[in-house]
Amino acid sequence: MSKDAAMVTRQPQTPDETTSQPRGYERALPLVDVLENDDEILILADMPGVAAHGVDVRLERSELSISGRQAVPDGAEPAWRPLEFARAFTVPDSVEAERVSAELHGGVLHLRLGKGDHAKPKRIQVTSG
Amino acid sequence: MLTRINDWGLGRWGDLGGDLEASFRALDGLRREMDRWATDFDRQFGGVAGGRSLSRVGPRMSLYDAGSELKLRVELPGFQDDDVQLSIDGGTITISGERQVGTPEGYTVHRRERGDLTFSRSATLPTKVDPEKSTALLEHGILEVTLPKAPEAQPKQIAVKVG
């Protein structure tokens, strides 16, 4: 994700906005897995038919939103409506935009949210008074 | 330390599975299969009511007539070439596949909706096709199968003579 994308100010969406979605795309919820280790949170989202240029990832404060539009193939059946996958998550404040990266592999979005140093487990030195 | 992730997704856009029937309109005899899938997936995914793509009724699939050939498109995110089998027997095409979703070492799973998947379904082809010349390509999680029509099923152009 580029830094610019992360800086975009965006009001939280309301359900009413679904009526203003681009014509032709049908909104769909991607199925996701959410995993975590000491260094990162890994979100995997099924987005079949979505290429890299169709993906949008935004982080505004603690709201992370992902969306992906299916490419429309040449000569596609008219009745086959392309999907726009969209989903939003609340993430910890410790997730930093510059530590977010996104890749697509075979129609699955791999989103990595690196933890800042302050989010990693810390050892606190105990001193006796 | 594990971080808690709250999910706003469910319910925001509502249940979007409504027009699945339209997607399958071109296919015959799938109704029972769809019902069976719905049961399996409800059991597997429980509360994921709004999920689309592979959820509830299996992969979204479209079969249509593109003139000199038939085209079949199936949404298969996360499937590799080796995970998918395709066969044509007489007037029926059967597609099946299996996806294993492992957990990378050292990761804790907070949410698992995608899961392992196994599916198999058949469709009646509306015309005769040439299986030898048929091709299949898996790209961006979409399997596109091109089935050239048999010579006797090719559209014929009829010249109009001015009388």
Nearest to A91 by CA among B42, B152, B8: B8
The pLDDT of residue B119 is 87
Question: Could you tell me if A41 and A95 are in contact, meaning their C-beta atoms sit under 8 angstroms apart?
Answer: yes
pLDDT given at position A108: 95
ipTM topping 0.95 = no
Name the more confident of B92 and A4.
Answer: B92
Q: What is the pLDDT of residues B109-147, one digit of tens each?
A: 988 888 788 888 888 999 999 999 999 999 999 999 999
Tokens of B133: 């010349």
pLDDT of residue A122: 63
Instruction: Please tell me which of the candidates A13, A76, A79 has its beta carbon nearest to residue B22.
Output: A79
**What average pLDDT is seen over chain A?**
78
pLDDT for position A118 = 64
CA distances from A98 to A2, A54, A116 (A): 8, 21, 10
B82-88 mean pLDDT:
93
Q: Do B141 and A106 touch (CB under 8 A)?
A: yes
pLDDT tops 70 at residue A22: no
CA distance A81 to A25: 6
Reply yes or no on whether the pLDDT at B77 is more than 90: yes
Task: Determine whether the interchain pair B8/A48 forms a contact, defined as Cβ–Cβ distance below 8 Å.
Answer: no
pLDDT number for residue B47: 34
Report, as an integer, the average pLDDT of B29-36: 38
CA gap A8, A6 in Å, rounded: 6
Q: Which of the residue ranges A53-57, A68-72, A92-96 would you say has the lowest mean pLDDT?
A: A92-96
At residue A119 the predicted structure's pLDDT band, cuts being 50, 70 and 90, is low
Closest to A46 (Cβ–Cβ): which among B8, B62, B77?
B77
Looking at residue A23, its pLDDT comes to 52
How many Å lie between the alpha carbon of A109 and the closest alpha carbon of chain B? Answer: 9
Helix (H) or strand (E) holding A11: none
**Structure tokens that stand for B56 in this block:** 């509830």
**pLDDT given at position B46:** 34
Out of A51, A63, A77, name the one closest to residue B64 (CB): A77
Alpha-carbon distance B136 to nearest alpha carbon in chain A (angstroms): 15
d(CA B84, CA B74): 11
Considering only the beta carbons, identify the residue of A44, A73, A92 that sits closest to B3: A92
Predicted confidence (pLDDT) at residue B107 exceeds the cutoff of 50: yes
* pLDDT tens for each residue of B58-75: 688 888 888 899 999 999
Give me the DSSP letters along A24-76: T-EEEBPPEEEEE-SSEEEEEEE-TTEEEEEEEEEEETTEEEEEEEEP--TT-
Longest dimension (CA), chain B: 86
Q: Do B8 and A50 touch (CB under 8 A)?
A: no
* Closest approach of A123 to chain B, Cα-based (Å): 12
The secondary structure of B42-93 as a DSSP string is HHHHTT--SB-TTTTT-S-EEEEE-SSEEEEEEE-TT--GGGEEEEEETTEE
Evaluate the CA torsion angle A54, A59, A63, A64 in order and state its sign: positive
Taking the CA of residue B162 and the nearest CA in chain A, the distance in Å comes to 33
Over 90: is that where the pLDDT of A48 sits? yes
Residue recorded with tokens 């808690």: B4
Whole-number average pLDDT of chain B:
71
Q: How many CB atoms lie within 10 A of CB B72?
A: 22
